Amino acid sequence: MKNILVTGGAGFIGSNFINHTLKERDDYFIVNLDKLTYAGNLENLKPSQDKRNYRFVKGDIVNSELVNFIFEKYRIKYVINFAAESHVDRSILGSEIFYRTNVIGTNVLLETARKFEVEKFLQVSTDEVYGSLGSSGFFTESTPLSPNSPYSSSKAAADMMALSFHHTFGLPVVVTRCSNNYGSYQFPEKLIPLMIINSLKGKPLPVYGDGLNVRDWIYVIDHNNAINLVLEKGVCGEVYNIGAGNEMPNIQIIKLILNYIKKSEDLIQYVKDRPGHDRRYAIDSSKIQSQLNWRPEFSFEDAIIKTIDWYIENKNWWERIISGEYEKYYNSQYKNR
């Protein structure tokens, strides 16, 4: 049995990771530590909740006592740190919780992993640590880090902290830097689910700036397959970029969604730009492809339709979310734009 601590496993990527991994692996014992912030939802984990090789612990990664208790009780040998505050817009509204969770929380996990001599610590980082590209070029693993938002600067700090624990203490750390994910269970504050849900409801679609900012999209299952591979075969001290080669201006995705849902493009509403908005992200993932033999399996054309269909079929899931606390955030975020 591989005893793995997965943090943030009730969020979008973490819950997809647990459900997908436990479907295929009964030699993994997964303990999911999640604070259940606004972004954490145990409903996401229904397919895994009754599995004998799965446990859920509600708690904060900043809580060193609890983290120590979990490592000891479950004899944790692997860590995958997904837990984070993850939304750029929220980090602009208030940055403190981003540094608390993403930086201090990661530090607690690293110190505890060192004490318990784990076999691997996988820090889930992001391509946003590289900053913004102009109209050409790609992020490689040696592109200097140049984060621009409170969110990305907190992730860059955690990413560098993890690598420093390898360099200084020999902790077996690997870091993954992935591009923008999409898929089921993504919280509706993010571009793709927000635009799908607003289209379904016939609400305006708020496009920041000129709509020509470019993101490089990857289906969440492709990201998670890469994480499993890096956990098994990644070389300690190394960084692996993960991306599926799907660069797209925001407006193109928004039109695709409207078109598939058969709603008018009149719903598009250009609004005030996000402060400090990164222009373009594009990932060079040739290292993980050549060294670990990873390949994305899903084409954007197929997986975006799968994703839109999931939101159409799982209205109950998102209706419960958008009628709660999230409504207040939405009204304040888009009020004066």
Q: Mind telling me the catalytic residues?
A: 127-128, 151
- The entry of ligand NAD, ligand TYD, none near residue 13 (CB within 5 to 8 angstroms by kind) is ligand NAD
Sign of torsion, CA 184 49 57 115? negative
Site string for ligand NAD, 71-90 (x = CB under 6 A): -----------xxxxx----
Q: Give the list of residues 6+ apart from residue 101 with CB closer than 8 angstroms, or none.
A: 35, 60, 61, 62, 83, 84, 85
Q: 3-state DSSP call for residue 79?
A: strand
Torsion of CA 250, 256, 259, 263, to 10 degrees: -30
Site string for ligand NAD, 152-181 (x = CB under 6 A): ---x----------------------x-xx
Residue 191 contacts ligand NAD per CB under 6 A: no
Q: Are 172 and 166 in contact (CB under 8 A)?
A: yes
Residue 8 is classified by DSSP as S
Of 8-16, 163-171, 201-209, 283-291, the segment contacting ligand TYD by CB under 6 A is 201-209
The smaller minimum CB distance to ligand NAD, of residues 226 and 251, is found at 226
Distance of closest approach, residue 100 Cβ to ligand NAD, in angstroms? 7
**Backbone region of residue 303 per phi and psi (left: phi > 0; alpha: psi in -120 to 50; beta: other values):** alpha
The smaller minimum CB distance to ligand TYD, of residues 216 and 222, is found at 216
- The entry of ligand TYD, ligand NAD, none near residue 215 (CB within 5 to 8 angstroms by kind) is ligand TYD
Question: Could you say which of 190, 243, 246, 307 contacts ligand TYD (CB under 6 A)?
Answer: 190
| R_g (Cα) of the chain, nearest Å | 19
Amino acid at 244: A
Of 9-17, 67-75, 198-206, 248-256, the segment contacting ligand NAD by CB under 6 A is 9-17
Question: Where in 266-325 is the site for ligand TYD (CB under 6 A)?
Answer: 274
Tell me whether strands 78-81 and 2-7 are parallel, antiparallel or unpaired.
Answer: parallel
Q: Are 197 and 311 in contact (CB under 8 A)?
A: yes
Residue 250 contacts ligand TYD per CB under 6 A: yes
What is the contact surface with ligand TYD in residues (CB under 6 A)?
88, 180, 190-191, 194, 206-208, 213, 215, 250, 274
